[in-house]
């Protein structure tokens, strides 16, 4: 019987080394994913806070709320980027945009809100954009919208909303900006894919990792 030469198995030490290397690689991948998600949460929080700050700056500068400001002739008389604004408000002190058009900016002050902030140089984007194209994007692939509707058990008033936020990330974002619960505080949420409009009632007590969420924060 011919004896095969040069064929040897791996030693236990070699196998252990390979397993350690594989473990380190997997740990690095998971750590990298965690860092990416944390960065997205931070970016989303900064976007929300930036828009709220822009609204307050606009109010200080012009004495009116963005979206509620007008008439159109007076706005365009400001010159520059204001020449491209097409939306204006009725100057009643309320930015009127019902919850059903949070992510469509379909008409009226829902369009004007974003146009006025851009014309004033307070956020980036095309001043004359309308409809969903007028909305900023959030880091999770959804949009950032606005409503003054009484959503998720909160009273009527200004709210910034984020669409299509993954469940685990939604938990982290709520913890960063509020209390970590979808049914309490100034930030509330409900399950909803693809920029689903906010509803009347929030998710019950906890986020679900298997669903996307629409989240709204009152300011």
What DSSP string runs through 200-216?
A: SS--SSS--TTSEEEEE
CA distance 59 to 55: 6
Determine, yes or no, domain membership for 207: yes
- The per-residue pLDDT for 4 is 53
Q: What is the per-residue pLDDT for 154?
A: 92
Residue 90's domain comprises 41-218
- Asked, for residue 32, whether it belongs to a domain, the answer is no
What per-residue confidence (pLDDT) applies to 106? 74
Q: Would residue 177 count as lying in a domain?
A: yes
Whether 12 is covered by a domain: the verdict is no
Residue 51 CA to residue 57 CA, distance in Å, equals 10
Structure tokens at 194: 């693809």
What does residue 14 show for φ and ψ, rounded to 5 degrees?
-65, -40
Half-sphere CA count of 114, side-chain side, radius 13 A: 30
- What are the respective helix, strand and coil percentages of the chain, to the nearest 5? 40, 10, 45
Residues in the chain predicted with pLDDT less than 50, given as ranges, are: none
Q: What are 174-199's pLDDT values in tens digits?
A: 999 999 999 999 999 999 888 999 98
| pLDDT of amino acid 180 | 93
Total domain count for the chain? 1
pTM of the model: 0.83
Query: What pLDDT sits at residue 161?
Result: 96
**52 in any annotated domain:** yes
Q: Is residue 51 part of a domain?
A: yes
23: in domain: no
* pLDDT value, residue 29: 58
Q: What is the pLDDT of residue 77?
A: 96
| pLDDT value for 75 | 96
Residue 215 to residue 66: CA distance in whole angstroms: 21
Whether 17 is in a domain gets the answer: no
Residues in CB range of 194: below 8 A, 6 or more apart: 142, 163, 164, 212
How far is Cα 188 from Cα 196, in angstroms, rounded to an integer? Answer: 14
Q: Is there a contact between 161 and 202 (Cβ–Cβ < 8 Å)?
A: no
CB atoms within 10 A of CB 146: 25
The CATH number for 110's domain is 3.30.1690
Q: Which two tokens stand for residue 169?
A: 């990330």
pLDDT of residue 199: 86
């Amino acid at each position: 019987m011919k004896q095969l030469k040069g064929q040897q198995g791996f030693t236990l030490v070699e196998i252990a080394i390979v397993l350690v290397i594989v473990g380190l690689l997997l740990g690095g991948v998971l750590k990298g994913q965690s860092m990416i998600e944390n960065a997205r949460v931070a970016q989303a929080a900064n976007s929300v806070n930036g828009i709220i700050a822009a609204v307050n700056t606009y109010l200080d500068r012009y004495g009116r709320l963005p979206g509620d400001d007008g008439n159109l002739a007076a706005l365009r008389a400001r010159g520059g980027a204001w020449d491209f604004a097409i939306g204006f408000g009725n100057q009643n002190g309320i930015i009127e945009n019902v919850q059903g058009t949070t992510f469509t900016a379909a008409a009226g002050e829902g369009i004007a809100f974003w146009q006025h902030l851009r014309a004033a140089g307070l956020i980036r984007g095309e001043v004359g954009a309308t409809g969903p194209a007028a909305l900023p994007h959030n880091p999770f692939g959804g949009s950032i919208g606005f409503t003054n509707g009484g959503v998720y058990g909160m009273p009527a008033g200004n709210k910034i909303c984020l669409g299509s936020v993954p469940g685990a990330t939604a938990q982290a974002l709520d913890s960063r900006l509020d209390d970590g619960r979808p049914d309490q505080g100034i930030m509330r949420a409900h399950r909803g894919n693809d920029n689903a409009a906010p509803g009347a009632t929030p998710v019950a007590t906890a986020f679900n990792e298997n669903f996307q969420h629409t989240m709204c924060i009152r300011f």
